Homo-oligomer: A and B are copies of this chain.
Amino acid sequence: MIQLDLGDRRPLYMQIKEKFKELIVTGAIKEGERIPSVREMANMLAINPNTIQHAYKELEDEGFIISQRAKGSFIAPISKVQNSSNNSALYKSLMDTVAELIYRGENLDDIMATVNKIYENIRKE
Residues of A in contact with B (beta carbons under 8 Å apart): 6-7, 11, 18, 21-22, 24-26, 61, 66, 68-69, 76, 78, 80-82, 85, 87, 90-91, 93-106, 108, 111-112, 114-116, 118-119, 122
CB of B85 within 8 A of CB of A104, answer yes
Q: Can you list the 10 inter-chain pairs with the closest CB atoms, starting with the nearest?
A: A25-B103, A82-B105, A25-B99, A25-B100, A98-B118, A94-B97, A93-B97, A26-B99, A108-B119, A90-B101
What chain B residues lie within 8 Å of A61 (beta carbons)? Answer: 61
**Interchain residue pairs with CB less than 8 A apart (24):** A11-B69, A21-B96, A21-B100, A24-B103, A25-B96, A25-B99, A61-B61, A82-B105, A85-B104, A87-B101, A90-B100, A90-B104, A93-B97, A94-B94, A94-B111, A94-B115, A97-B97, A98-B114, A98-B119, A99-B118, A99-B122, A103-B122, A108-B115, A108-B116
Residues in B with CB closer than 8 Å to A68 are: 6
Interface of A: prevailing SS: helix
Residue in chain B with minimal CB distance to A64: B103
